[in-house]
A = this chain, B = another copy of it.
Amino acid sequence: MLGTLMYAPGQVKVEDVAEPSLLKPTDAIIKLAASCICGSDLWPYRGHGDFAQPMSMGHEYCGVVVAVGEAVCTVKPGQFVVGSFCLSDNTCPHCQYGFQSSCEQREFMSGAQAELARVPLADGTLVALEAHPPADLIPSLLAASDVLGTGWYAADAARVQPGSTVVVVGDGAVGLMGVLSARQMGATRIIAMSRHKQRQELALEFGATDIIAERGEDGIAAVKALTRHVGADAVLECVGTQQSMAQALACARPGSMIGYVGVPHGVEFDGQQLFFGQKGMLGGPAPVRRFLPDLLALIETRKINPGRVFDLELPLADAAAGYRAMDSREAIKVLLRT
* Interface: A280 (CB within 8 A): yes
A263, A271, A283 pick with most chain B CB within 10 angstroms: A271
A281 close to chain B: CB less than 8 A = yes
- Whether B268 lies near A271 (C-beta < 8 A) is yes
Interface residues on A, range: 35 or more
Contacts of A23 in B (CB 8 A): none
Q: Which residue of B lies closest to A228 (CB)?
A: B93
Copies of this chain assembled into the complex: 2
CB within 8 Å of B: which A233-249 residues: 240, 245
**A93-B230, A228-B93 in contact; A282/B257 too (CB < 8 A)?**
yes
Closest to A283 in B: B275
Beyond A94-B253, A97-B254, A255-B99, whether A260 also contacts B284 by CB under 8 A is no
The contact string, 1 if C-beta is below 8 Å from chain B, for chain A 73-117, is 000000000000000000001100111011000000000000000
A137: Cβ under 8 A from any B Cβ: no
Q: Name the residue in A157, A260, A263, A283 with the highest tally of chain B Cβ atoms < 10 Å from its Cβ.
A: A283
Measured in the bound complex, the distance between the Cα atoms of B274 and A245 in whole Å is: 13
CA of A2 to CA of B97 in the docked complex: distance in angstroms? 55
Q: Are A94 and B255 within 8 A (Cβ)?
A: yes
Instruction: List, in ascending order, chain B residues with CB within 8 A of A264's CB.
Output: 271-272, 274-275
Q: What are 20 A-B residue pairs whose CB atoms fall within 8 Å in the complex?
A: A97-B255, A99-B253, A102-B254, A102-B255, A245-B271, A255-B282, A260-B275, A263-B272, A264-B274, A266-B271, A267-B271, A267-B272, A268-B271, A274-B283, A275-B285, A276-B285, A278-B282, A280-B280, A280-B281, A281-B282
Residues on A lying within 8 angstroms of B by beta carbon are: 93-94, 97-99, 101-102, 157, 228, 230, 240, 245, 253-255, 257, 260, 263-272, 274-285, 287
Q: Which 8 A-B pairs have the closest CB atoms?
A: A267-B271, A264-B271, A102-B254, A278-B284, A280-B282, A99-B255, A269-B269, A93-B230
